[in-house]
Amino acid sequence: MDDFDSSFFLMRALAGPVMGIVAMLISITIFAPIVLYLVARWKAAKEPDTDRHLGLKVALHFFSISAFQLGLAGLTLLVWALITTAPSEMKSVFNRIALGMLMPAGLVFAAHFSLLKRTNDVERTAVRRLFAGYNLIVTGLLGFIALVIAFQALFAKGSSGEMGRAAGAMVLVYGTAWAIIGWRFGMQVLTGGPGSTSASPPQPGASAPPPPSAPSTTATPPASTGGLPSLGGGAFPPIDPKS
């Protein structure tokens, strides 16, 4: 069995599970923003003041994360085009498709990320945390799929061919992104890093803490001593013995 036959066999064997996972990812992409918006609205209702940027932040985070995932897919295709054994014409096609995915992803991500800087996303971190967890779930799920395909190609009989190279590109891109996003999310939520409540500045409308009281400068009176009061200075006049 040559490389092409082995790769084709792996593709047929994994077609069913992969299609099921892709359908689940599409469902998550469609319904997750609605669920996250409802959760963010429910959490904001418990706060004393209203977050007027809530809906805007949900939309901006959703499109920035969608652009980020599109960029990961384009980067995976670009890495696969570099390591594939396909002819040069096919490599050129893959490179063009990858660049066609990376350019709009970068533009959309940069535009929405800059717009987020103009909102209260730093002070009110509930929406940021929700979408950071959502991004971690999607990236981790794709990275997990890449690991499964890579090990299936590794333990397959004979050469894994292009399926193994594609799985290697996915593991390299999504595995690295999975680790970085997980580390950032842990720093943000668990250890009081940027975006956590312990490190966030005071919210608008909150009363400032009272200033520290200055040390007292009132001099304490000297302690009184026992005995008669002083009669003043001077001395008795000398006594003349002739008088």
Number of other CB atoms surrounding residue 106 within 10 Å: 15
Q: How far apart are the first and last CA of the chain?
A: 149
Confidence of residue 199 (pLDDT cuts 50, 70, 90): very low
**pLDDT at residue 174, rounded to an integer:** 93
Q: Does a structural domain hold residue 242?
A: no
| Residues whose CB is less than 8 angstroms from the CB of residue 209 and which lie 6 or more positions away in sequence, other chains included | none
Q: Does a structural domain hold residue 58?
A: yes
CA–CA separation, 157 vs 10, rounded Å?
A: 10
As separate numbers, helices (DSSP H) first and strands (DSSP E) second, the chain gives: 5, 0
Q: Does a structural domain hold residue 59?
A: yes
3-state secondary structure of 232: coil
How many separate domains does the chain show? Answer: 1
Tell me the residue range of the domain where 13 lies. Answer: 3-189
pLDDT in tens, 118-150: 988 888 888 888 899 999 998 998 899 889 888
For tokens 């400032």, name the residue: 208
Q: What percent of the chain has pLDDT over 70?
A: 67
Q: Does a structural domain hold residue 204?
A: no
**pLDDT at residue 33, rounded to an integer:** 80
Q: Does a structural domain hold residue 222?
A: no
Q: Does a structural domain hold residue 215?
A: no
pLDDT in tens, 20-67: 666 776 777 778 788 888 888 888 778 777 778 888 898 899 999 999
Q: Does a structural domain hold residue 214?
A: no
pLDDT in tens, 64-104: 999 999 999 999 999 988 888 878 888 888 899 999 999 99
Q: Which of 1-10, 12-21, 95-104, 105-114 has the lowest mean pLDDT?
A: 1-10
CA–CA separation, 121 vs 114, rounded Å?
A: 11
Summarize the confidence of residues 209-225 as an average pLDDT: 55
Q: What is the mean pLDDT of the chain?
A: 76
Confidence (pTM): 0.68
Cα 180 to Cα 127, 187, 189, 196: the distances in Å are: 20, 11, 14, 18
Tell whether the model's pLDDT for residue 157 goes beyond 80. Answer: no
Q: Does a structural domain hold residue 229?
A: no
